[in-house]
Structure 1
């Protein structure tokens, strides 16, 4: 099954500048909850100027 991590992120230099990021991957439903932390950390390393404020798993 295909799932997505939906993250609300904001720019560290300007917290009013926000956007939603979506990362899709396949696997079991429980896999989304298990894998999400590493996905968020990797995204944060690739986007150092942005901060993840909230996230959720859902169907893609």
Structure 2
């Protein structure tokens, strides 16, 4: 249970970061990007935007 919670919070926080940066992506795009592995921790807003296009 602890691992599931950690994974869920990580996905949520990275998705929230991606959605609220200057990357101009929706929360749905950010969540799909994180879930598919396209968005990882440490990416810049420009990298996030390019990955989701």
TM-score, scaled relative to structure 1: 0.31
TM-score by length of 2: 0.33
- Which structure shows the bigger proportion of residues in helix conformation? 2
Higher relative contact order (CA 8 A, sep 6+): 1
More strand by share: 1
Give the greater-gyration-radius structure (CA).
1
